[in-house]
């Protein structure tokens, strides 16, 4: 049994190097124990076993491109079993070349479930990051910061989206699972946990006004809202604390609209109609 | 006293919320990495928030002004309404869009307006906002502009150059309905404008002979909205009208909006309001037509009165009315028939097709494909599974019918 510890913070290369060595040494999935190695101290006092030397009898491994795409997403998941799952898939795909096109296979299904979770997590990050402005512009560039709490290690793979979109401003996205920063020239990534910035942005007040007034109290559908914007995200959304009162007042506001008698039009209405 | 920006934002978002569309998907892919500006559209739409009405908030959806010289009975902004009025300057809308965008509240702007002075004047103001965003501020986010049917062609041309999507609301499913409830609007003129847009959109997709470059004209296409439950139109009429619009003008979307109570409603409105579930069923039927290969007549002929069932979805209703077409063998059936199975969809069917090339599928295989086995089980055959003949079951409807709790909303 070979025991390996990986930092596992969304870096595919770390896993790929270890997996390639194991595969070339002919080590089967049942003979590896993958662990998450925490920074600073080895939690269990266990040292990594050295990687075995390649077995000349084992042919150089190849993988379909679809495997790498899948692995690139799955490695970002927080599930501690992801390393072993990917290695099992890698091992099997050497013999079963069509494996990835069998979505009903338990290993493939599991990997696709994790991939889907990563896609959703990244999509929600693109949706729910909220930038707040940090003071005055510096060197003509405005500066913003955001705090976000993703479920998985997705900051790296999502940072390009923010770079391509918010190109003309400086920004930093800080999360407990790493950070990304852009200054107009370089995208800087870190997988270290960040501290939560403490910022107030006056424009949030206008956004809250918009959120309040774009809501139609005559069509309350709380379940539909919550399935798309689960409560775990609310604490970092400047508009979310308005929601309970909007829900509580909706019924009365709708009643009022229904019960209200039709009013008489103002003079300008008559003037316009006379012109017709 | 002059109203503050915040007060006007409140009034003009209140005035805009009856437009259902908030889509930001389906336009060209572009970003700011080369221009060094602001904004991107990368294919997928993004909902940046959800209001407690369950609707996605993707765009800053506002009116430039809610003053309006039209008097459409169903509309919150009709000239005879006493709602509070306000207007933004074009610069204010530009500023709000950019500041909201920078904070990642939105994907872009959906700008509409009441008709003031004239159609050209109003359209000119809308175009100015889009032009300033694109040319002065290097903005590459999403822009949806409401198009005023009577506006001059050069204004429409310019709108299409800057906007991702253009839309003209048909408002009601029948011409009589439009004449009765929107007396200043003209159905023939609305359709002519849609047709003009459709021709321009199609033409812009082809590279020109001279320059070999594509012209830009509303790459996100056009959409429209129909209000449901104001006139007496049945679901069959409504969906028939949609099919007509989809096929003649290649619309990207028809939005359905169940007419809901508005502040200061006109006494000419009907007293009974349609359940929100009716709107939901129309969207499901619309989907079946566009992505599932159903004819609208197949869906709307289930009931004699031409309306969709409220307590079960239209696909299930069709299946129960066509029991002789089931069970469907998941290991052999054509794609077209798999798509007609209640509980299978455009995501699971390709997975089934892919998986069954390698093995015969059992129910637990379907479960791993994230299919709801208890929902599809009565309608399919799989390895090791054949259901009771559907024609022998009398309890199926009860098995699936949901409690119609939405009906109580309007009490």
Could you tell me if B241 and B364 lie in one domain? no
Q: Which of A139, A161, A207, A241 to mutate to test the interface with B (most CBs of B within 10 A)?
A: A207
| Angle formed by the axes of helices A203-214 and B90-102, nearest 10° | 100
DSSP assigned state of B33: T
Residue B88 within any structural domain of the chain: yes
Nearest Cβ partner of A257 from B37, B40, B263? Answer: B263
Task: Name the phi and psi angles at B112, rounded to 5.
Answer: -135, 180
Whether residue B401 is predicted with pLDDT greater than 80 in this model: the reply is: no
Whether residue A43 is predicted with pLDDT greater than 70 in this model: the reply is: no
Residue B87 within any structural domain of the chain: yes
Per the CB < 8 Å rule, is B276 touching A209? Answer: no
Could you tell me if B188 and B104 lie in one domain? yes
Task: Identify the pLDDT of residue B367.
Answer: 96
Q: Which residue of B has its CA nearest to A267?
A: B80
Whether residue B404 is predicted with pLDDT greater than 60 in this model: the reply is: no
Chain B hits for A161, CB-CB cut-off 8 Å, are 40, 42
Could you tell me if B207 and B328 lie in one domain? no
Task: Identify the pLDDT of residue B405.
Answer: 43
Per the CB < 8 Å rule, is A209 touching B82? Answer: no
Whether the CB of A203 is below 8 Å from some CB of chain B: the reply is yes
Task: Identify the pLDDT of residue B96.
Answer: 98
The count of structural domains within chain B is: 2
Per the CB < 8 Å rule, is A144 touching B80? Answer: no
Task: Identify the pLDDT of residue A47.
Answer: 60
Could you tell me if B254 and B388 lie in one domain? no
| Angle formed by the axes of helices B153-162 and B119-131, nearest 10° | 20
Chain B hits for A172, CB-CB cut-off 8 Å, are none
Could you tell me if B348 and B237 lie in one domain? no
In whole angstroms, how far apart are CA B43 and each of B138, B281, B346? 19, 27, 19
Nearest Cβ partner of A165 from B39, B60, B265? Answer: B39
In whole angstroms, how far apart are CA B116 and each of B64, B67, B110, B120, B154? 10, 7, 18, 9, 19
Residue B184 within any structural domain of the chain: yes
Task: Identify the pLDDT of residue A210.
Answer: 98
Task: Identify the pLDDT of residue B407.
Answer: 41
pLDDT tens-digit series, residues A53-67:
999 988 888 899 999
Task: Identify the pLDDT of residue A110.
Answer: 98
Q: Most confidently modeled of A190-194, B1-5, B258-262?
A: A190-194
Residue B291 within any structural domain of the chain: no
Chain A hits for B14, CB-CB cut-off 8 Å, are 213
Average pLDDT over residues B222-231: 94
pLDDT tens-digit series, residues A171-211:
999 999 999 999 999 999 999 999 999 999 999 999 999 99
Average pLDDT over residues B394-408: 60
Residues B376 and B344: their CA atoms lie apart, in Å, by: 7
Whether residue B260 is predicted with pLDDT greater than 90 in this model: the reply is: no
Whether residue B391 is predicted with pLDDT greater than 80 in this model: the reply is: no
* Residue in B13, B26, B36, B216 with CA at minimum distance from that of residue B105: B13
Lowest-pLDDT choice from B111-120, B167-176, B383-392: B383-392
How many CB atoms sit inside 10 A of residue B10's CB? 20
Residue B141 within any structural domain of the chain: yes
Give the Cα-Cα-Cα angle B47, B48, B53 (nearest 5 degrees): 70
Average pLDDT over residues A41-49: 59
Whether the CB of A241 is below 8 Å from some CB of chain B: the reply is no
Residue B271 within any structural domain of the chain: no
Token code pair at residue A8: 């596992």
Could you tell me if B34 and B131 lie in one domain? yes
Nearest Cβ partner of A131 from B47, B102, B262? Answer: B102
Could you tell me if B159 and B87 lie in one domain? yes
Residue in the structure block whose two tokens are 């509580």: A248
- Min Cα–Cα distance to chain A from B390, Å: 27
Per the CB < 8 Å rule, is B36 touching A168? Answer: yes
Chain B hits for A230, CB-CB cut-off 8 Å, are none
Nearest Cβ partner of B40 from A165, A239, A276? Answer: A165
- Min Cα–Cα distance to chain B from A162, Å: 9
Residue B82 belongs to domain with CATH number: 3.20.20.70
Per the CB < 8 Å rule, is A104 touching B359? Answer: yes
Per the CB < 8 Å rule, is B52 touching A215? Answer: yes
Could you tell me if B257 and B362 lie in one domain? no
Q: Which residue of A has its CA nearest to B4?
A: A206
Indicate the burial class of B211 (C-beta count within 10 angstroms; 0-12, 13-18, 19 or more): exposed
- The residue among B246, B264, B282 that closes a domain is B264
* Residue in B268, B261, B226, B269 with CA at minimum distance from that of residue B244: B226
Nearest Cβ partner of B267 from A214, A229, A262? Answer: A262
Task: Identify the pLDDT of residue A40.
Answer: 52
pLDDT tens-digit series, residues A129-165:
999 999 999 999 999 999 999 999 999 999 999 999 9
Which domain, by its residues, includes B386?
324-405
The rounded radius of gyration (Å) of the Cα atoms in chain B is 24
Whether residue B210 is predicted with pLDDT greater than 90 in this model: the reply is: no
Whether residue B406 is predicted with pLDDT greater than 60 in this model: the reply is: no
Average pLDDT over residues B260-265: 87
Average pLDDT, rounded, for chain A: 93
Nearest Cβ partner of A103 from B260, B276, B354? Answer: B354
Whole-complex ipTM? 0.95
Whether the CB of A234 is below 8 Å from some CB of chain B: the reply is no
Whether residue B187 is predicted with pLDDT greater than 90 in this model: the reply is: yes
Identify the H or E element spanning B6. Answer: helix B5-14
Q: A263 or B325, which is more confident?
A: B325
Residue B378 within any structural domain of the chain: yes
Residue B210 within any structural domain of the chain: yes
Nearest Cβ partner of B52 from A209, A246, A258? Answer: A246
Task: Identify the pLDDT of residue B321.
Answer: 94
Task: Identify the pLDDT of residue B213.
Answer: 66
Is it true that the peptide bond before B327 is cis, omega within 30 degrees of 0?
yes
User: Contact, A173 vs A190, CB < 8 A?
Assistant: no
- Tally C-beta pairs within 8 A across A and B: 207
Whether the CB of A216 is below 8 Å from some CB of chain B: the reply is yes
pLDDT tens-digit series, residues A90-121:
999 999 999 999 999 999 999 999 999 999 99
Nearest Cβ partner of A131 from B53, B103, B369? Answer: B103
Chain A hits for B264, CB-CB cut-off 8 Å, are 260, 262-263
Q: Which residue of A has its CA nearest to B10?
A: A213
Task: Identify the pLDDT of residue B64.
Answer: 97
Whether the CB of A200 is below 8 Å from some CB of chain B: the reply is no
Per the CB < 8 Å rule, is A144 touching B69? Answer: no
pLDDT tens-digit series, residues B59-114:
999 999 999 999 999 999 999 999 999 999 999 999 999 999 999 999 999 999 99
Whether residue A69 is predicted with pLDDT greater than 60 in this model: the reply is: yes
Could you tell me if B204 and B88 lie in one domain? yes
Could you tell me if B330 and B239 lie in one domain? no
- The residue among B264, B286, B314 that closes a domain is B264
Per the CB < 8 Å rule, is A269 touching B71? Answer: yes
Cα A39 to chain center, whole Å? 22
Percent of chain B with pLDDT over 70: 95
Q: Could you tell me the pLDDT band of residue B410, with boundaries at 50, 70 and 90?
A: very low
Residues B123 and B69: their CA atoms lie apart, in Å, by: 14
Residue in the structure block whose two tokens are 């998985």: A152
- Min Cα–Cα distance to chain A from B205, Å: 25
Could you tell me if B151 and B21 lie in one domain? yes
User: Contact, B62 vs B16, CB < 8 A?
Assistant: yes
Whether the CB of A33 is below 8 Å from some CB of chain B: the reply is no
- The residue among B214, B238, B264 that closes a domain is B264
Q: Which 36-65 residues of chain A touch chain B by CB within 8 A?
A: none
Average pLDDT, rounded, for chain B: 92
Whether residue B411 is predicted with pLDDT greater than 70 in this model: the reply is: no
pLDDT tens-digit series, residues B12-59:
999 999 999 889 998 999 999 999 999 999 988 999 999 999 999 999
Alpha-helix residue ranges (DSSP H) falling in B53-186? 90-102, 119-131, 153-162, 175-181
Reported as half-sphere exposure (CB side, CA atoms, 13 A), residue B293 has a value of 10
Lowest-pLDDT choice from A226-230, B169-173, B218-222, B267-271: B267-271
């Amino acid at each position: 049994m070979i025991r390996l510890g990986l930092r596992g913070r969304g870096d595919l290369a770390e896993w790929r190097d270890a997996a390639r060595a194991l595969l070339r040494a002919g080590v089967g999935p049942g003979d590896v124990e993958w662990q998450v190695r925490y920074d600073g101290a080895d939690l269990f006092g266990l040292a990594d076993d050295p990687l075995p030397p390649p077995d000349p009898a084992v042919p150089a491994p190849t993988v379909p491109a679809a495997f790498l795409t899948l692995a690139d997403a799955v490695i970002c998941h927080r599930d501690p079993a992801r390393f072993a799952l990917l290695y099992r898939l890698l091992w099997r795909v050497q013999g079963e070349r069509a494996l990835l096109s069998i979505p009903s296979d338990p290993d493939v299904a599991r990997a696709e479930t994790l991939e889907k979770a990563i896609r959703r997590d990244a999509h929600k990050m693109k949706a729910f990051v909220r930038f707040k402005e940090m003071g005055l512009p510096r060197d003509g560039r405005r500066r913003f910061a955001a705090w976000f709490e993703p479920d998985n290690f997705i900051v790296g793979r999502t940072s390009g989206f923010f770079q391509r979109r918010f190109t003309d401003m400086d920004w930093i996205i800080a999360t407990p699972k790493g950070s990304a920063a852009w200054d107009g020239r370089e995208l800087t990534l870190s997988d270290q946990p960040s501290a939560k910035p403490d910022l107030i942005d006056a424009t949030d007040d206008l956004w809250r006004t918009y959120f309040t007034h774009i809501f139609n109290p005559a069509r309350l559908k709380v379940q539909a809202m919550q399935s798309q914007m689960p409560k775990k995200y609310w604490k970092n959304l400047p508009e979310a604390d308005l929601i309970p009162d909007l829900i509580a007042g909706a019924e009365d506001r709708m009643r009022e609209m229904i019960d209200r008698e039709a009013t008489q039009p103002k003079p300008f209405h008559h003037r316009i109609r006379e012109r017709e | 006293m002059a109203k503050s920006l915040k007060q006007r934002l409140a009034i003009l978002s209140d005035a805009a919320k009856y437009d259902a569309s908030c889509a930001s998907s389906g336009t060209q892919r572009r970003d700011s990495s080369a221009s060094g500006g602001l904004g991107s559209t990368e294919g997928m739409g993004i909902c940046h928030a959800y209001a407690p009405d369950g609707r996605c908030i993707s765009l800053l959806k506002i009116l430039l002004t809610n003053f309006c010289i039209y008097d459409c009975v169903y509309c919150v902004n009709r000239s005879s309404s006493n709602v509070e009025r306000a207007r933004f300057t074009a610069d204010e809308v530009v500023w709000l869009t950019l500041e909201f965008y920078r904070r990642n509240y939105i994907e872009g702007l959906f700008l509409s307006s009441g008709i003031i002075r004239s159609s050209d004047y109003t359209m000119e103001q809308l175009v100015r906002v889009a032009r300033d965003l694109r040319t002065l501020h290097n903005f590459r986010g999403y822009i949806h502009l409401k198009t005023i049917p009577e506006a001059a062609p050069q204004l429409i041309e310019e709108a299409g150059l800057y906007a991702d999507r253009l839309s003209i609301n048909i408002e009601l499913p029948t011409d009589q309905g439009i004449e009765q409830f929107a007396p200043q609007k003209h159905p023939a003129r609305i359709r002519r404008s849609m047709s003009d847009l459709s021709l321009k959109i199609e033409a812009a997709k082809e590279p020109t002979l001279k320059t070999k470059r594509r012209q830009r004209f509303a790459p996100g296409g056009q959409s429209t909205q129909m209000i449901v439950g104001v006139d007496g139109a049945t679901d069959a009429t409504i969906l028939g009208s949609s099919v007509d619009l989809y096929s003649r003008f290649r619309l990207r979307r028809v939005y359905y909006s169940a007419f809901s109570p508005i502040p200061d409603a006109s006494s000419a409105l009907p007293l009974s309001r349609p359940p929100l579930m009716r709107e939901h069923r129309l969207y499901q039927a619309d989907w079946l037509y566009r992505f599932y290969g159903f004819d609208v007549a197949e869906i709307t002929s289930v009931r004699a009165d031409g309306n969709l069932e409220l307590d079960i979805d239209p696909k299930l209703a069709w299946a129960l009315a066509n029991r002789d077409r089931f069970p469907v063998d998941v290991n052999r059936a054509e794609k077209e028939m798999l798509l007609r199975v209640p509980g299978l969809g455009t995501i699971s069917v390709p997975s089934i097709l892919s998986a069954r090339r390698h093995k015969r599928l059992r129910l637990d295989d379907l479960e791993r494909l994230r299919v709801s086995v208890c929902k599809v089980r009565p309608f399919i055959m799989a390895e090791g599974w054949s259901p009771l003949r559907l024609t022998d079951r009398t309890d199926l409807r009860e098995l699936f019918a949901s409690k119609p709790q939405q009906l109580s909303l309007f009490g």
